[in-house]
Amino acid sequence: MKNQPPLWIRHASQLVTLAGSSAAPLRGEAMEQLQVIEDGSVWLEHGVIQLAGTDEEVAEAYRDRLDEAQAIDASGKLVTPGLVDPHTHHVYAGSREHEFNLRLQGATYMEIMNSGGGIHATTSATRAADRDTLFAESSRRLDQFLLHGVTTVEAKSGYGLTLEAELKQLEVAALLNERHPVDVVSTFMGAHAVPREYKEDPERFVDCVITEMVPEVARRKLAEFNDVFCERGVFTPEQSRRILEAGLEWGLLPKIHADEIEPYGGSELAASLGAVSADHLLKASDQGIRMMAEAGVIAVLLPGTAFFLLAESANGRKMIDAGVPVALSTDCNPGSSPTVSLPLIMNLGCLRMGMTPAEVLAATTINAAHEIGRGKQIGSIEPGKKADITIFDVPNYLALQYRYGVNHVHSVIKNGAVVVREGRLA
């Protein structure tokens, strides 16, 4: 990185910086008020953003060094922070298109899971996969994320459900973070499902998560967050609380898959624990939403999952209006949302959750960065932040949502290096 010439992005028809919110996620009307610079320009050096402004301002500031820089012409294009996906289960093996076919014929997600498919099917495949296979399959998905403009993703474990297999999944995530241009931030999710071998005694599995898995994951520093699937038939709010409190004792910050299939107290639990986020929230109660706003819990909304499960989306509009900070994510996983297209999720945020094009951009950059504890490093274009930038071949951010169903990514810059050029991996 040190020896690379500076990169100079020039003449963007719109540069949306999202600057000024590194301390806390955007909420309410602030999510709508984007700073948009026309004829925008960004100077990147040593993997870091040095300056952003109009082309004239940047040219003036660097007037003695303009010849050194490698220029990227962004005329007619939209420049944004590299997109951040704060909720994925992308480290897995196998595929479940046959379940998709069953669901299209009327089977429900929970029926499939309770009859041994769903998360159990992917758990079997992931347990059986060796590290190289798991790495290769997940690395291909990260390539696809990058091609869709995403420069950082969160990754959850939870397809191992034994100490050994959970560690394998998290170690592969750590290796991906090291070797792949996309940054990977890990979350332990041993409480993703009660594995079949504990079917008759789920409490014993909860104890195993608390006494064996959480301490070992924390000791090996393999995750920063701890997540549970709090849903009837999976983990109760009481079990979820115990698991998340155990994580907190080991320094793992809580997140919750909450109120996805029915209202079950997950959003209320997130607020009372001061969780980083509550995710899904299709069926969140009004009281839960109010409590999340008061506690500053981020709502991670996953409209692709609702779309793919033929369900009604979470009410993003209502949450933003209530003052809840909102982030958006693919939920990339083989069962309920096998996509890597965060731009498609943005489209769905507009079309199915009543969010505006400005709000979905805030929700997939700075707010998503805060959700994974990276609000000071990424998620906006301002001096000192990582040089992670996406250039879309559309003239403005409204067009990015309007021209839906097409991958508009033109270039991606990661740590100051061009990693996608004209829509292809560089």
Closest to Fe ion by CB, 166 vs 331, is 331
Q: Retrieve residue 85's tokens.
A: 């996906």
Pick the stretch among 138-146, 262-270, 287-295, 327-335 that binds Fe ion (CB under 5 A). 327-335
How many other CB atoms sit within 10 Å of the CB of residue 171? 18
255 or 370: whose CB is closer to Fe ion?
255
CB of 333 vs ligand NIG, minimal distance in Å: 4
Applying the rule CB under 5 A, the residues between 328 and 347 that interact with Fe ion are: 331
Residue closer to ligand NIG by CB (options 58, 121) is 121
Residue 187 interacts, among Fe ion, ligand NIG, none and using kind-specific CB cut-offs from 5 to 8 Å, with: none
Q: How far is the CB of 71 from ligand NIG (least distance, A)?
A: 42
Q: Which is nearer to ligand NIG, 158 or 416 (CB)?
A: 158
Closest to ligand NIG by CB, 305 vs 365, is 305
Q: Which does 237 bind (CB under 5 to 8 A by kind): ligand NIG, Fe ion, none?
A: none
Shorter beta-carbon distance to ligand NIG: residue 181 or 334: 334
Nearest CA among 47, 52, 44 for reference residue 19:
52
Q: What count of residues does the chain have?
A: 426
394: left (phi over 0), alpha (psi -120 to 50) or beta: beta
Q: Given the rule CB under 6 A, which residues bind ligand NIG? A: 89, 118-119, 122, 229, 257, 260, 305, 331, 333-336
Interacting span for Fe ion (CB under 5 A) from 55-63, 103-111, 325-333, 342-350:
325-333
End-to-end CA distance of the chain: 16
Answer with the entry of Fe ion, ligand NIG, none that 229 interacts with (C-beta below 5 to 8 A by kind).
Answer: ligand NIG
* Residue 288 binding partner per list ligand NIG, Fe ion, none, with a CB distance cut-off of 5 to 8 Å that depends on partner kind: none
Question: From CA 217, how far away is CA 387, in angstroms rounded?
Answer: 30
Q: Which long-range contacts (CB under 8 A, 24 or more apart) does 66-70 make?
A: 66/8, 68/5, 68/6, 69/5, 69/6, 69/7, 69/8, 69/43, 70/5, 70/6, 70/7, 70/8
What is the nearest approach in angstroms of ligand NIG to the Cβ of residue 331? 5
Q: Which residue has the tokens 């504990």?
A: 198
Three-class SS state of 395: coil
Q: What is the DSSP string of 400-419?
A: HHHSTTS--EEEEEETTEEE
Cα separations (Å) of 226 from 144, 214, 403? 26, 8, 37
DSSP characters over 269-330:
HHHHHT-SEEEE-TT--HHHHHHHHHHTPEEEE-HHHHHHTT-PPP-HHHHHHTT--EEE--
The smaller minimum CB distance to ligand NIG, of residues 187 and 401, is found at 187
Alpha-carbon gap, residue 329 to 360, rounded angstroms: 10
Partner in contact with 334, chosen from Fe ion, ligand NIG, none, beta carbon below 5 to 8 Å by kind: ligand NIG
Strands 36-37 and 150-156: unpaired
Burial of 28: CB neighbours in 10 Å, binned 0-12, 13-18, 19+: middle
Output the six-digit token pair for 164.
């050994």
Q: By beta-carbon distance, which residue lies closest to ligand NIG? A: 335
Question: Which structure tokens are listed for 417?
Answer: 């290096």
Shortest Å distance, C-beta 164 to Fe ion: 22
* Binding-site partner at residue 325 among ligand NIG, Fe ion, none, CB < 5 to 8 Å by type: none
Q: State the minimum distance, in angstroms, from the CB of residue 300 to Fe ion.
A: 9
Query: Which of ligand NIG, Fe ion, none does residue 336 bind (CB under 5 to 8 Å by kind)?
Result: ligand NIG
In the complex, minimum distance from the CB of residue 295 to ligand NIG, in angstroms, rounded to a whole number: 22
Instruction: Tell me how far, at minimum, the Cβ of 247 lies from ligand NIG, in Å.
Output: 17
205 or 229, CB closer to Fe ion?
229
Two tokens at 95? Answer: 């595929």
Rounded to a whole number of angstroms, the minimum distance from the CB of residue 297 to ligand NIG is 17
Q: Which is nearer to ligand NIG, 231 or 268 (CB)?
A: 231
From 17-25, 132-140, 326-334, 403-411, span contacting Fe ion (CB under 5 A)? 326-334
Q: How far apart are CA 180 and CA 209, in angstroms?
A: 29
- Smaller CB separation from ligand NIG, 83 or 161: 161
What does the binding site for Fe ion look like in residue numbers (CB under 5 A)?
Answer: 331
